Amino acid sequence: MTTTELLAAYDQQLRTDAETPSAVAVERLGPLRLVTFSGGRGFVTYRDLDGADAPTIAGWVAETVEYYRAQPGIDRFEWKTRGHDHAPGLHEALLQNGLEADETESIMIGAASGLAADVDLPPGVTVGQVSDEAGIRAMCAMQDEVFGSPDSDGHAEAVLRRAALDDGMQLWVAEHDGMFISAGRLEPVPGTDFAGIWGGATRPEWRGRGIYRAVTAARARAALDLGKTLIHSDSTEFSRPILERSGLVRVSTTTPYLWRRSSGADGN
């Protein structure tokens, strides 16, 4: 498939309710989907902005902030932008309404078969799935440490709630001497050709030794076993070259804009 065809498949198959399988509520505002997740988190996404002009888009942004501000259980939300969208004035409107741009990532797509290669692992390293509570908590703690996230149980609780849904998500880890050294999850997208690979993290001292590639290959093989032929991921500059070497291509970019109630954006 060409890059144009891959991007079209992404827009048509993934920018739907399939993008937010664990949502607890979804409201519509024009073309926007205002999603609520458990744990006080909101999320804004859409297939496109219907060719709207800058004033219309600015109005949607302001209404979205008011929508989440009016829900005391929501302490943060993310507005997920894509670099290929026609969105006049969106960046300015988001900043003017108290959101902050986070790191831009590459939207990577490619054949699952390209990732499902055999990888030689260092001695003593094994790759497998984890599904028990203790294993999930240990995996999340390792990811939080690698990503520099606050030390809390929030991440683990969210993953445990998601695992309880039994919706096909798989958690894969690399282990050495009883310690998790790399991890990532696989999310098959029902009704599509896609599975997503997310949350890839490797301890710094183990990087550059093929371990992340091995965890990724295991997830790709699992995706193929489920009948998924395409893999997608939002990749940092660390993981993008690894995925490119396996045949994935960058079809666009995505930049999350974040609103936090504690930031003062709510006016309190």
pLDDT in tens, 198-229: 988 999 999 999 999 999 999 999 999 999 99
**Cα separation, 170 vs 135, whole angstroms:** 13
121 DSSP assignment: P
The least confident of 32-46, 234-248, 254-268 is 254-268
98 plus 162 within the same structural domain? no
10 plus 43 within the same structural domain? yes
- Of 22, 88, 85, the closest CA to residue 61 belongs to 88
Determine, yes or no, domain membership for 58.
yes
Containing domain of residue 27, as a range? 3-107+254-263
Which residue(s) pair with 255 in the sheet?
81
pLDDT tens column, 81-129: 999 999 999 999 999 999 999 999 999 999 999 899 899 999 999 999 9
91 plus 114 within the same structural domain? no
Residue 198, both tokens = 């997310």
204 plus 259 within the same structural domain? no
124 plus 212 within the same structural domain? yes
How many structural domains are present in the chain? 2
148 plus 58 within the same structural domain? no
**Cα separation, 128 vs 145, whole angstroms:** 20
Determine, yes or no, domain membership for 268.
no
Rounded to two decimals, the pTM is 0.84
Q: Has residue 4 got a pLDDT over 80?
A: yes
114 plus 63 within the same structural domain? no
253, with CB counted inside 10 A (0-12, 13-18, 19+), is: middle
